[in-house]
Amino acid sequence: MHTTVGIIGGGPSGLLLARLLHRAGIDSVVLESRDRGYVERRQRAGILEQATVDALRAAGAGSRLDAEGIPHDGIELRYEGRAARIDFPGLTGGRRVWVYAQTEVVKDLVALQLAEGGPLLFGAEVTAVEGADTDRPLVRYTHEGREQTLTCDYVVGCDGFHGVTRNAVPEGERRTYERTYPYSWLGILADAPPVYDELIYAHSERGFALASMRSPSVSRLYLQVPNGTDPADWPDERVWDELDARLSLRADPAWRLKRGTVTQKSVLPMRSSVTEPMRYGRILLAGDAAHIVPPTGAKGLNLAAADVIVLARAFAHLKETGSTELLDTYSDTCLRRVWRAEHFSYFMTTTLHTDPAQSPLDTRLQQSQLDRIATSPHAAAELAENYTGLPLAP
């Protein structure tokens, strides 16, 4: 089998790229190692920037998002028992974000791809990518018990940090910058209606907490916990009690979360990582294959979407003009935005979390920074602009 663009990885970035290419009249094949059920149940991000929403609409995947997605015009910061709201539209000239789970984005894109797009093969385990420095790279994969090959004009790796595509780039041709944080998130999904209209990010001496949502009847909540935490050590009542303690308000000491059945509980380690460059020969990296951010800044899915939007434009430009100019600048174009998002995610993480080794001075510095954001329109605007998403390169 031969295709113009071989896409390894059927998560949101690979599927969105396939849809945008289909709309531009460019053929592709998507190879996904997991089965459809696993891919559609994989819980990850839930916040979409305006640019991501626009791209999903352009791909024909906006109808359910528009009907069921929850637009948010701000977030609330809590620290020292106080609350400060960050007004996104007022600080950014009208930008906002949407709450719409990655699971739903993937379901929408899978359905469209299977109905209208090129081949999407689940259970296709890629074993090797060869010939990146030739004009026809080769992908070897196993599907339905048979070893098969796919030749491509280009290969796009959307298969994550540990995927085959990233590792197909010779070590001497790539450099990775990494940071591991000394804490993790304990996350729960609960059948409990949120008692808040927008996300709450809380700093406390007990540790960070985040009150998010998936729908008007389902809450998504997180607690900072030590690395290596076993979810079994956190019974449901302990989780709810700790969330209430970290989210508490002096002005409203009776404020409490609504409790409900916990349907999912897991621990998420946190790290930052960037691999440069994002292109080697005819291999191009996108999403987690090229960069990982801690989830505090809500950038992961949005950065991946930004990569494939730039990439789809570059492939369309090649088809229309015969020029590889935009493909040649793909890595530099994306990395400028990637590094800003990495910095913002690092800032949100280190400002809101309590490092096990930090001193009382460190805590007071964090509180001072949060106070600056709460009282300065300039500092609040910087946070709002980064949270809602910096402009995509033309």
Q: How far apart are CA 143 and CA 158, in angstroms?
A: 18
Extract long-range pairs of 303-307: CB within 8 Å, 24+ residues apart.
303/337, 303/338, 303/341, 304/11, 304/12, 304/13, 304/158, 305/12, 305/13, 305/16, 305/49, 305/51, 305/52, 305/55, 306/51, 306/52, 306/334, 306/337, 306/389, 306/392, 307/13, 307/278, 307/334
Question: What sign does the CA torsion over 165, 171, 172, 177 have?
Answer: positive
Computed over every residue of the chain, the mean pLDDT equals: 96
Q: Tell how far CA 51 is from the center of its chain.
A: 13
% the chain with pLDDT above 90? 96
Q: Which two tokens stand for residue 308?
A: 């494939």
Q: How far apart are CA 364 and CA 366, in angstroms?
A: 5
For 214-241, the pLDDT digits (tens) are: 999 999 999 999 999 999 999 999 999 9
Place of tokens 């002005």: 251
Q: Which two tokens stand for residue 243?
A: 């969330």
Domains in the chain, please, with CATH? 2-68+102-179+270-358 (3.50.50.60)
Residue 329 phi, psi dihedral angles, 5° rounding: -100, 5
pTM: 0.94
Is 80 exceeded by the pLDDT of residue 8? yes
The pLDDT value given to residue 393: 67
Catalytic residues: 72, 201, 295, 299, 387
